[in-house]
Structure 1
Amino acid sequence: MAEMKTIEIDFEVHQRIEAARKGFGETPNTVLRRLLEIDRPGRATPPPGPTQALGRSKREPRPWFGKGVTLPHGTLVRMDYNGRVHSGQIDDGGWLVEGKRFKSPSGAASGIAVTGRGDKTRLDGWKYWSVKLPASDVWHHISTLRRAG
């Protein structure tokens, strides 16, 4: 096993690593090894430059961040409200639900939900949305992903 070193990273770098995780079991070290192509079989070329290493030849879609939760681009979202299931996905840093863009779970919930009488309502989206991360088959209630604080 390779010797482990501790490095300091800023919060933005930490967020990028978290957004690149393919599942809850993937460690930050594993994410970096994958992004840097360290374990690629048959690698005979010198290490790529910084932008190549992270696959940034063009801008990658952004994850969504809020209240200690990072949802990668492509995360599926769904909400059951008043007998109707609303669905969408995280799209380049925003919530794309039923063709409308929102900045937050509460904005998305309030923007699409209607009461039994058909009136608009304001909702705390953290109480209603469930998410399914890319490369996962499991839905999680979004509130369970928030950091205790």
Structure 2
Amino acid sequence: MTEQQGTQPAGERVRPPVHRWLWYALGGSLPARHSTWVLHDTTTRTWGLRHVARSLVQMAIPTAVVLAVVPAGWALRLAVVAGGVFLGLIFSLAYMAETTEQRVIKAGYRPGTAVHARERASIEAQRAESARKRAAAAKRAARYRQRTGGRPG
């Protein structure tokens, strides 16, 4: 991961209050003290779900307007909202990596930081899974040898 161009040490992660998180979810920038949290938000194991949550927050305003203003029955209003949310989520998921990278850049990190952090976490997870599988295979082999008395099968 590249170094941050901002002010926050790597270890301090300050979660934003609700009103700042809402602003962040709508696409706004957070103060520099939250930059480490932004990197965590866009690179943690659940970054995709967090992105979807931010997208749903962004769609809440147009949804409320459609439900309140459109002069039609509730069935049509709900159908319009459902279609809009569906299409909005498709668009949001199509540009998920780019959108999260822009958030990290706004927080003061270099371009590519989030992608590299997610790749590194993925490699570490694969290594841990491989080690777990090797240990499980060794335990099974030991149990098999114990049952068979060390004789070849």
> More strand by proportion, 1 or 2?
1
> More helix by proportion, 1 or 2?
2
Instruction: Name which structure has the greater RCO, CA cutoff 8 Å, separation 6+.
Output: 2
Bigger-Rg structure (1/2): 2
Structure 2 length normalisation: TM-score? 0.25
Structure 1 length normalisation: TM-score? 0.26
